[in-house]
Structure 1
Amino acid sequence: MSPVSSFLWTYAVGVKVLLSQLLSRSFSLPVFPLQNGKVAIVTGGAKGIGYETAKHLSRLGMHVIIAGNHENQGELSVSRIVKETGNEKVEFMYLELASMQSIQQFVQHFKAKNLLLHVLVNNGYIRWPVNQCSPGAAAVMLVPQRNTADGFEEHFGVNYLGHFMLTHLLLDTLKQSGSHDLNSRIVTVSSATHYIGELNLNDLQSRHNYSPHGAYAQSKLALVLFSYQLQQRLAAEGSHVTSNVVDPGVVNTDLYKHTSWLFKLCKWLTSWLLFKTSTQGASTVIYAAVSPDLEGAGGSYYVNGQKVKSADISYDEDLQRKLWAQSCNLVGNPERHQCAS
């Protein structure tokens, strides 16, 4: 897909979702049973959807770890959640998804705590500039062409490969924590842009004919493909872990820095009417993380509290396996026995 086509299709999808949100009733969370004794990791949990997810899981009694790369904002969010929920088992741990070394260090530090892990939320990640102390963040959405410290295209490297690596390194703990009656859960946040995504296995890093819209959509499609393939492998080995994908909708967060001026104007004028709040955007993420209705059920795509059909290409098992194999090679085969193609 050409850069112009990617641009046009991305905003067409955005308009479609906004109209759907206007015409449909927002999903309201039911009352869930307490989750005392359970542990959750939420990436990007310091702001937006991640923050609301972390707060709700904390309110349910879970030990919540907010993973992010802005320590000041992370600690501030922890303090707010503790104050609002009364649950003191909330903490911040540093994680830079743009760095494979940082991901490995995060997992090492987490495992040193000797905790179980019942929920991993691979949330849409806001990448805070290392040299910036203010809350204004550079989100990995429609950014100019640039690479991570490991040389990966930033959308693909942060949105997808970072979560791919993190999930693999935490799989053994997730498996140990799940049981026949209470599976551990992996909830991956994608978006409706995956419907227009094209996965170029010969150019996953978008080196040729770069389009920020195309690269973003590809990273979101990759997350869906990965989640489905992971569920198949977990089920095949009889693991008590499930993997699902959530589309939170178009949410009023910090993710729109690099969108067009027309979209920004639309957001400024109509966000109160068309855009979901962070609380509304987090509702389906929370539902997938703790709802008894989803116990033991994986391999699905959820929007507004309902299971829906994802893009046709996302069910291509051959493509899932090929992406899996290439991803393992790119990140250096983390937990090689888990990452075999």
Structure 2
Amino acid sequence: MSNRELIVLGTSSAVPTRARNHNGYFLRWDDQGFLFDPGEGTQRQMRLAGVSAHDVTTICVTHFHGDHCLGLPGVIQRIARDGVPHEVRALYPASGEDYWLRLRHATAFADTSKVTPHPVEGEVTTLRSAGLTLTARPLSHPVDAYGYRLDEPSGRRMIPAELARYGISGAQVGELQREGRLGAVTLEQVSEPRRGQSMAFVMDTRLCDGVHALAEGVDLLVIESTFLTPEAALAHEYGHLTAAQAGQVAAEAGVRKLVLTHFSERYGHDDERRFAEEAAKAYAGDIVVARDLMRVPVPKRRNPATGPSRP
């Protein structure tokens, strides 16, 4: 059974609050785990959320402001301490190599060779692994910042009734999938298109081409909405988005589910309704205003008969 969900570890921006930890997001995607922007306190939040160091297969850092990376030393030391046996890829802006090395070796501990660096630079960086494509694109922030997108390739779903009609079962199904036909029966006769699922992670940025390219058509968009519209000028000055802009991006990109997060400490839980209302002025789809330790499932696959639909 598919197990795909976002576990929110922290939702605050530069300053944590009593209710919101610094950034941190764990995407569980079947047997892979993507840890995005581990801010200060992420190791503790992982324990509270039931996320193990063994669950992490990839770490993605958008940029080297503290609320997006100060949790790295603890997470990496936990990977080492717990003896994680598999490779853990770490993606981060190449221009921040010095910061990566400082965080990677922040204290004395029994190290691990399992964490492998993958610095990203240029307009598009792509990594492929286990049937998934992970893409990084530049954003617009005072320091080099990248957003990330995860894509599953499209495929075909077998139709049990059609398999039964042609008397195909057991090992024959696998042969048909591999070869594209079994005798006179083609794969297209007993299957239907299955659209691959996707998600995008967009943090600290002004509106730019990278934001729109990352968000285009994704099932799940996790995006910063640091400010509300009255602070739009401040948002632009510091390289951030408002909730209204996040909603506009989601609407134009045909996003299926929108997760708003990375809130300025000036806002409390009583303001959550305002964030949702601002985003909803442009976006009519499913809006989630993130809270720490919340779990957000990746939307179920679209019905292939109806195809892609924009909210």
TM-score range, shorter chain: 0.3 to 0.5
**Which is greater in Rg?**
2
> TM-score of the superposition, structure 1-length normalised?
0.37
Higher RCO (CA < 8 A, seq sep 6+): 1
TM-score (norm 2): 0.40
When you count strand as a share of all residues, which structure comes out higher? Answer: 2
